Copies of this chain bind each other. A is one copy, B any other.
Amino acid sequence: MTEHSLWRFSRAIHHALNEGQTDQLEELLDDNVEWAIYGPIDMFAFLGARRGKAAVIEVIKQIAKAVNLHRFDRESIMLGEDSAASLMRYSVTPKNGAPISVRLAHFAQFKAGRLISLRAVMDTFDLVEQTLGRHIHLPKIA
């Protein structure tokens, strides 16, 4: 039984984020990989959509420069033959900022062991408030 593509990919991306080494990750990205982490690109330019290996490597380098990753907990995981979905909780520190904790759900698709699609959804309002270090007043709608 071979290892699921998610585990190789997960090691490679965390290695890239923590050590700035992207060689392993490059081998695991399809040339035309589709990538999106939905969120406020005004605050974090590394959020949003990217297309292709070079663009994804570049965005990983931007994330590695912008935040220190301390730990992550996988709260839920589903594995298919060539796909995976996880609900994760990341503890990170933005450079020059205080530690924050963000919940992120990602859906990944692989082909021949390489990532062809990744889409991630975060509780971005919580991310913004934690990053600002203050509460944003909201009207009560319902």
Which residues of A come within 8 Å of B, CB atoms? 38-40, 42-46, 62, 65-67, 75-76, 78, 80, 83-85, 87, 94-95, 97, 103-105, 107, 119, 121-128, 131-132, 136-142
The 8 Å CB contact of A76, one of B85, B137, B141, is B85
A123: contacting residue among B44, B94, B121, B140, CB under 8 A: B121
Looking across the interface, which residue of chain B has its beta carbon closest to that of A108?
B76
Which residue of B is nearest A83, CB measured?
Answer: B78
Please determine whether B142 and A107 come into contact, CB atoms closer than 8 angstroms. Answer: no
| 25 sampled A-B residue pairs with Cβ under 8 A | A40-B126, A42-B140, A43-B139, A43-B142, A46-B142, A62-B142, A66-B142, A76-B119, A78-B78, A78-B84, A78-B85, A85-B85, A87-B119, A87-B121, A103-B121, A105-B107, A105-B121, A121-B122, A122-B123, A123-B124, A124-B126, A125-B128, A128-B138, A131-B141, A132-B138
Give every chain B residue within 8 A of A62 (Cβ-Cβ).
Answer: 142
